[in-house]
Amino acid sequence: MWDSQRIADLVRGELTGDSQVRASGCCIDSRGVKAGEIFFALVGERTDGHDYIEGAWQKGASVVIGEKERLEHRREVRVPEGKALIRVESGLAAMQTLAQAWRKELGAKVVAITGSNGKTTTKDMVAAVLSEKYRTHKNSENQNNELGLPMTILKATENTEVLILEMGMRGLGQIAFLCDIACPDIGVITNIGTTHMELLGSQEAIARAKWELIEALPETGSAVLNGEDEWSVKQAEHDSHQTFFYGLEGRFHEPDLRGMNLTPFGILGTRFQVGHRQVGHGDRCAVPFAEVAAEVGQKTCPHVSLPLPGEHNVLDALAALSVGILLDVSLEEGCRGLAAMELSRMRLELHQGPEGSTLISDVYNANPTSMKASLQVLKERGGASTLAILGEMYELGEASREGHYEVGQTVAELGISELITVGPLAEEIACGALEKGLSPQRIHSFPDREGAIKKAQELLADLNQGTWVLIKASRGMKMEEVTRALHKG
């Protein structure tokens, strides 16, 4: 990457020690430092990285970046031979500055992804598609904020050709700030839903916040948008960037890339065909998609064997294939990448449960849209013997009661066999299910996970062998503990 003097110049810091020691990559946890990395001594809620500076050097860090104010109140730090210490005003700001500089020096294409649902899954899928042709680098898990995104960029190696960056959002201006660091070339918005209503107050404000990604693109940049998402289509009407739409039905905009003939396969997979109505780079095809599909015939539409269930995951796969098309990855190459993709943890994990049951553990996060999509998967796979264990959904603001209630209605409409809710907010899920016709004998509400686990064990002992179980809630509910308890059987 750079030598220590260059790093100090970039962050306008005070250098002590070796001015020519080389450094690449970064770390904020001294226990995981690798040789030659930059250790950022950040101050967290529970720990202060300045307490571990010596340990980081011992582990192999070549450069430490610490904050002047914190260092002034400590005993003098002795810099080992061949190492460097750089004092700055803010360690986080220094990291962000270095990430911005490294992104520009890399010269890699940058694909940025945001949305109310499916960001991390889409990121994983985009990486799977583009890795068929390029050397790619992506966020680990969901390191998508003002700390995780610059760390991701700084960990990219010199030969990286495409950076794939998930961007989270907790307020207006945050995505714009991340884009200032990342300088994206392609922006993907999976959808614009009600998550963060509590923070932003209205659907319009959420849409404006998400759209900061598209506004940050250069004039030559491309927006990849979901044609099934009304708010994305509305926002695009007033934007001059090249847009590439994907979809299944084209409810709000005719898709350039369409998924067709979806069928389940294997334990938890979906097979579908994909049709592309676009002839060149970004040129709209004037012929309606249906006529194009009829003309080329089903045999010429590639098949995708996606190792994930449900229409929502097919839409994410179409987003990834769309990015591939914009970067000259053929549909055939992209389909091959999707078939072999690996997902981040805690998303649609399958486990064997008690009494021959199958657990779908989708506990990373939840909102009404993703809850309903996962319930569809549960019904599709479990048929007549299903159990939904659903916890609270956070950050819905004034839409919280309605959002939980609608999920309960979906439980009843799909004919889910048994429902267990966890937490006070989730009692609205029970109310929605009850008022939509699910028998009260099949609805079980508990204030905590312990009661839910005990009831689930009792129900699975009585239900049919081979029952399918969905476990889902917002991350703060820690529903992985329910999965763990049932997985032990």
For residue 452, give both structure tokens: 């839910």
**What's the pLDDT band for 296 if we cut at 50, 70, 90?**
very low
Collect all residues with Cβ–Cβ distance below 8 Å to 57 and sequence separation of at least 6: 39, 64, 80, 83
Q: Indicate the DSSP class of residue 48.
A: B
Name the band, by pLDDT with cuts 50, 70 and 90, for residue 285.
very low
Model confidence at 279, pLDDT cuts 50, 70, 90, reads: very low
Q: What is the rounded distance in angstroms from the CA atom of residue 224 to the CA atom of residue 256? A: 10
Share of the chain above pLDDT 70, in %: 92
Mean pLDDT of the chain: 91
d(CA 418, CA 426): 15
pLDDT confidence of residue 293: 45
Kindly state the percentage of the chain with pLDDT values over 90. Answer: 79
Do 85 and 64 meet the contact criterion of CB atoms below 8 Å apart? yes
Is the pLDDT reported for residue 346 higher than 70?
no
Distance CA 171, CA 166 (A): 16
pLDDT bracket for residue 294 (50, 70, 90):
very low
Binding residues are 115-121
pLDDT value of residue 58: 95
Q: How far is CA 23 from the centre of its chain?
A: 29
416's tokens: 């889910």
149-187, pLDDT tens digit by residue? 999 999 999 999 999 999 998 889 999 999 999 999 999
Other CB atoms within 10 Å distance of the CB of residue 80: 13
Q: In this structure, what is the dihedral angle of CA atoms 397, 400, 402, 405, given to the nearest 10 degrees?
A: 170
CA distance 399 to 447: 21
Q: What is the DSSP string of 430-471?
A: HHHHHHTT--GGGEEEESSHHHHHHHHHHHHHHSPTT-EEEE
The type of residue at 292 is: V
pLDDT in tens, 427-440: 999 999 999 999 99
Mean pLDDT, residues 367-380:
93
Average pLDDT over residues 56-84: 94
Which CATH code fits 107-340? Answer: 3.40.1190.10
Pairing of strands 358-362, 222-226: unpaired
- Residue 75: the pLDDT is 82
Binding residues for ATP: 115-121
How far, in Å, CA of 484 to CA of 475, rounded?
15
| d(C-alpha 489, C-alpha 21), whole Å | 54
Q: Which of 213, 206, 201, 95 is nearest to 147 (CA)?
A: 95
d(CA 421, CA 431): 10
- What confidence score (pLDDT) does residue 281 get? 41
Confidence of residue 389 (pLDDT cuts 50, 70, 90): very high
- CATH of span 2-89: 3.40.1390.10
406 with 399: CB under 8 angstroms?
Answer: no
Mean pLDDT throughout 297-306? 74
Structure letter (DSSP) for residue 42: -
d(CA 365, CA 190): 15
pLDDT digits (tens, 9 = 90+) for 92-138: 999 999 999 999 999 999 999 999 888 999 999 999 999 999 999 99
- What CA–CA distance (Å, rounded) separates 407 from 431? 10
Q: What is the pLDDT of residue 196?
A: 58
Tens of pLDDT, residues 203-237: 888 899 999 999 999 999 999 999 999 999 999 99
Nearest of 126, 66, 72 to residue 91 by alpha carbon: 66
CA distance 187 to 243: 10
Show me where the domains of the chain are located.
2-89, 107-340, 349-486
Q: What share of the chain is helix, strand, coil (3-state, %, to 5)?
A: 40, 20, 35
The listed range with the strongest mean pLDDT (185-194, 223-232, 342-351) is 223-232
State how far the Cα of 236 lies from the Cα of 256, in Å rounded to an integer.
15
Reference 247, options 221, 220, 225; nearest CA is 225
The stretch 8-21 carries a mean pLDDT of 97
The answer to whether the beta carbons of residues 231 and 203 sit under 8 Å apart is: yes
pLDDT at 328 over 50: yes
pLDDT tens sequence across 248-266? 999 999 999 999 999 998 8
The whole-number pLDDT of residue 205 equals 87
**Alpha carbons 216 and 242: distance in angstroms, whole number:** 13
Position 289 confidence tier, pLDDT thresholds 50, 70, 90: very low
In the predicted model, is pLDDT for residue 81 greater than 70? yes
Is CATH 3.90.190.20 the classification given to domain 349-486?
yes
